[in-house]
Amino acid sequence: MAEENTETEGAEATEAFPEYGFHAYTSLFPRLDKKSFAKLKDDIEATGGNHTPIMIYQNEVIDGRERYDACKALNIYPNTAELEEPEDGTGVDLMAYVISANLHRRHLTTSQRAIIAGRISTGKLGDNQHTEETVTVDDAATLLNIGKKSVERGRKVLDDCPPDIITAVETGKIKVSAAEKLSKYEPEEQTKYLAGKASDLKKAIQTPDDQVDWSKRCDDLTKGLLKSLGKMNLETRKAAISDIRKRLSELDKPAIVKKAA
């Protein structure tokens, strides 16, 4: 339950603007870019205030950091509401609350969710904030509605990439898979590739398999095979084709791992 304060909603601040700190969990989600923040300010100014309340918990903003900053910049007294403890005494699951509220309101990519999942499973909340309250990789995947592999990539990027690479993923500039591949380089090199040409970045994150032109490789192999078959007599060619078909069919069968005796 939340007790909302609407008496001064939308009014220009005639009393001291309420000063609140930001709860550490507000750092889980990336800040709005300048264009989006300017649009938010315009909307609040045009409609006379923030109609969606800024949620406060123990004198800290737990949800609505951008709305709070926008109201402060406009000198408009904010509409706030207290996030109350459940009556059954179970306590508020703040992490789940913040994630649910933001995912409902914001359209985040899988890569952006991967970084958030990485944060809640490692305790690295962002803005140089940390917490000992962490969740498992499985739970992080469930909360952010992504696969475990994406969570692992987010953790890898948080562990091995400099802040500008992490920010690039959070803002949608690069995918978390690309950042994970960049993590094999020293931090200075990662930053250089990010700031350089797109072609250099693409080359830097290529794996050996990415660099192979498989279409051309298959075409060359097919031509070589047909040339060899053409040199065989009919019976030998039929036997060779039968053997090739058998081998190709084996590729579609799942591998069987033999247990050690």
- Enumerate the domain spans of the chain: 2-204, 214-251
What pLDDT shows up at residue 253?
Answer: 59
Closest residue by Cα to residue 166 from 22, 30, 25, 24: 30
| CATH code of domain 2-204 | 1.10.10.2830
Q: Are residues 137 and 118 in contact, defined by beta-carbon separation less than 8 angstroms?
A: no
What pLDDT does 259 receive? 47
Task: Give pTM, 2 decimals.
Answer: 0.66
CA 259/CA 145 separation, integer angstroms:
35
Per-residue pLDDT of the chain (261 residues; tens, 9 = 90+): 455 554 444 555 557 899 999 998 998 888 888 999 999 999 999 998 888 899 999 999 999 999 999 999 999 999 999 988 777 666 778 888 999 888 888 888 999 999 999 999 887 765 555 555 678 999 999 999 999 999 999 999 999 999 999 999 998 899 999 999 999 999 999 999 998 888 888 888 876 555 556 677 788 888 888 888 888 999 898 988 988 888 887 776 555 544 444
What pLDDT score does 50 carry?
87
What SS3 state is found at 12? Answer: strand
Separation between Cα atoms, residue 66 and residue 22, nearest integer Å = 11
